[in-house]
A = this chain, B = another copy of it.
Amino acid sequence: MGSEILEKFRPLFQPRSIAVIGATDNPFKLGYHALAAVTSTGYRGEVYPVNPNAGETIQGRRAYRSIAELPHGVDLFVYAVPETQVLPTVREAVERGGRAGVIFAGGFRESGEEGRRLQEELVRIADSGGMKLIGPNCIGVLNTRAGVNATFASPLAWFPSGNVSVVSQSGGMGNCILNELMDERVGIAKFVSIGNRANVEFADMVEYLAEDPDTAVICLFIEGLDRGDDFLRRAREAARRKPVIVYNRGFTESSSRTALSHTGSVASSEAVYRGAFAQAGLLQVESANQMACLAKAFSMGGVPRGNGVFMATHTAGPAIAISDICERGGVRFPPLRPDIADALRGFIPRHAVAANPLDLFAFAWTDNALYLRATDLALAQEDIHCAVAVFVTGAGSGPVFPAREYAEIGRRHGKPVFLCLVAPAILSQELEEAQKEGVIAYNTPEKMGEVLVHLNRYGLLEKSAAT
């Protein structure tokens, strides 16, 4: 069954050929940006620019005047055309054996009764040829591993490849999530702006991504669902195999008014969604940034086996913020075993208390081996399941945290290690370097605390699912 769904969406995510309908040399038109995006990623399949008004070439590639001129069975059609041209060109593509399509234009289900009728007709045409449609009213699809950028945004080609996949109802919020992943230095596998969901639903994408070998973490932005039961059933299946993180908006009066005119969903009440998502084992977050931070931990395999944390710091304030957030969320800082506390007393600075959290004062900033020795001792304790180090960046003119050695200690104990590297976002290079060593790093104490709380919730969800 797994390979069936992979095969069903292969033409969308791993197309052997892409046609761009409406491609042009005019940079003030969407079709220009769509073709530029498709060719921005080093895509190795065939690319067919189609425009009835074209000359010999478009952006240096051989131009096609009509879909009828194309070879039979092009995998993916990118429709960069106005709404009035969508139905005719989709019909032609279906007749020519097209397998999948991405439709940017709005003016369908989200725009009232006439639009709804148009979209129903669109679905009939597509279904008659088995063509899977992303959109209408979307910004498209990205698959970093296959070099596929079927959007109209060339900059998406800059996103590093990774194992986090994102499905967003809203293109704009999809952008927000991708931005946060970029700032957190997390690579993405696939991105789908699902839009009006003509004949591809959230449930389809979740089932696909659960099977997709390139995806380790699934992120969803949802404004509303049509067939909630189907989604919950298939999302629950997915959540048994991979973490599924949901960010949900559109609960209040104005926001649901906008959601209606947006992708044609009727927003339901918050409590109903929240309860159902939790029962299905989905992790719910409150912002795009929380989503990216949590996805990073999963992406790097950082799921502690329990709620006990050891934290060491050279500066108390950020550690206080982390423990404040953690304890409200059920994460504990277990007292250290007497033998471990004794061992610590052998080398920690004068005035330091051999406790958890462990404040090593400014001494640990310059002598950062203190972190390593303390963490190595503490991770041996049974009810401590991960470690957090808090360190203020030297910003290139001060000490550097010993990320490689710290990661090695974590691996030796089989427990994830985290770093709160207090740094401005513009110094995220330093964060990325720690992550390359295997340390799961965040640049603020609030992000660090919230991730630990969410990971703990995930552990509880897993346990309740197992019983």
User: Could you tell me which A residues sit within 8 Å of B by CB distance?
Assistant: 28, 30, 33, 104, 106-107, 110-112, 115, 153-155, 168-176, 179-180, 182-183, 221, 223, 249-255, 257-259, 261-263, 286-289, 313-321, 323-324, 326-328, 333, 350-351, 353, 355-357, 359, 361-362, 366, 390, 392, 395-398, 422-426, 428, 443-446
Given A155-B397, A315-B170, A428-B426: A252 touches B324 (CB 8 Å cut-off):
yes
Are A262 and B316 CB-contacts (below 8 A) given A289-B446, A323-B252, A323-B254?
A: yes
Chain B hits for A353, CB < 8 A: 261
Pick from B106, B172, B317, B327: contact of A262, CB under 8 Å? B317
Choice from B252, B253, B288 contacting A444 with Cβ under 8 Å: B288
A288-B446 CB under 8 A given contacts A155-B397, A258-B319: yes
Tell me which residues across on chain B come within 8 A of A259, comparing CB atoms: 316, 320
- Given A28-B366, A258-B323, 13 more pairs with CB closer than 8 A: A33-B398, A153-B398, A170-B316, A172-B319, A179-B423, A249-B317, A254-B357, A255-B323, A255-B327, A258-B357, A262-B359, A287-B444, A426-B426
Shortest distance between the CB of A353 and any CB in chain B (Å): 6
Q: How far is the CB of A373 from chain B (nearest CB, A)?
A: 19
Residues on B with C-beta less than 8 A from A288 are 321, 444-446
Contact partner, A255, options B180, B183, B324, Cβ 8 Å: B324
Is the Cβ of A172 less than 8 Å from the Cβ of B221?
A: no
Min CB distance, A64 to chain B, in Å?
25
Interface contact A361-B106, CB-CB below 8 Å: yes
Q: Could you list some 14 contacts between A and B, CB below 8 A?
A: A30-B362, A153-B398, A172-B390, A179-B422, A180-B424, A250-B320, A254-B323, A255-B323, A258-B313, A258-B359, A261-B355, A261-B359, A262-B317, A289-B444
Within the complex, the shortest CB–CB distance from A193 to chain B, in Å, comes to 9
* In the bound complex, CA of A73 to CA of B418 (Å): 49
Is the CB–CB distance between B252 and A318 below 8 Å? Answer: no
Contact A355 B115 (CB under 8 A): no
Once the chains are docked, how many angstroms separate the CA of A180 from the CA of B321? 15
Say which residue of B255, B324, B351, B398 sits within 8 Å of A251 (CB atoms): B324
- Nearest chain B residue, comparing its CB with the CB of A154: B397
Of chain B, the residue at the smallest CB distance from A445 is: B176
Instruction: State in angstroms the CA–CA spacing of A108 and B106 once bound together.
Output: 66
Q: Which residues of B contact A314 (CB under 8 A)?
A: 172
What's the minimum C-beta distance from A263 to chain B, rounded to whole angstroms?
A: 7
